[in-house]
Amino acid sequence: MISIKPHHFVDIVTALGDGCTEFQPHPYGHAVHTVAKDILSNPDIDLRIAMGADDICLPCRHNLDGLCADTIDTSFRPLAPKSKREYNLLIDERWSQRLGLRQDDQLTARELCLRIRDCADDIEDIYRETPSDRTAERQARLQRGIAKFLE
């Protein structure tokens, strides 16, 4: 079972929609590359929803005692908190509300992707700190990724 934040799953599916099928190790040391490989190779893999540090975060150099110590670029989203932990929590709370998810819910990657497909026709309110044109691009990549993942 993979422990995953809602936005991390969305990011993986969005990257798939952008043509990414192989994720590479990142200098931060997080585990996106291994978690994405597991999810993309088995849509029926079991997931457990996490609102704190998940399996992607655990090996990251910015994970300090379960809390993200990284910051985000606020130059194009000045209303977002500078703390990556705070911003990601906002995004995860919005996704969770939209998808009817709670901490420790268990479902397969396919089931989560189906929920996203059925509930994510407009994601501007989830990424409200981001300019509309960037969110529209993300929306298009997400939709393509959902189609690829579920085919």
Per-residue model confidence as pLDDT tens digits over 42-54:
999 999 999 999 9
Helix (H) or strand (E) holding 68: strand 67-68
* pLDDT tens-digit readout, 91-115: 999 999 999 999 999 999 999 999 9
Token code pair at residue 37: 């490989």
Contact 95, 101 (CB under 8 A): yes
On whether the CB atoms of residues 56 and 32 are closer than 8 A, the answer is yes
Calpha distance 96→34 (Å, rounded): 23
Do the Cβ atoms of 80 and 72 come closer than 8 Å? Answer: yes
CA distance 138 to 141: 5
Task: State how far the Cα of 54 lies from the Cα of 3, in Å rounded to an integer.
Answer: 5
Return d(Cα 70, Cα 66) in angstroms, integer: 12
What confidence tier does 73 reach under pLDDT thresholds 50, 70, 90?
Answer: very high
> Rounded to an integer, what distance in angstroms lies between the CA atom of residue 65 and that of residue 58?
9
pTM > 0.85: yes or no: yes
CA 113 to chain centre: 11
Q: How far apart are CA 49 and CA 24, in angstroms?
A: 23
Average the pLDDT over 71-81 and give the result.
96
Q: Where are the domains of the chain?
A: 2-150
- Rounded Cα gap, residues 89 and 66, in angstroms: 13
Mean pLDDT of 137-147: 98
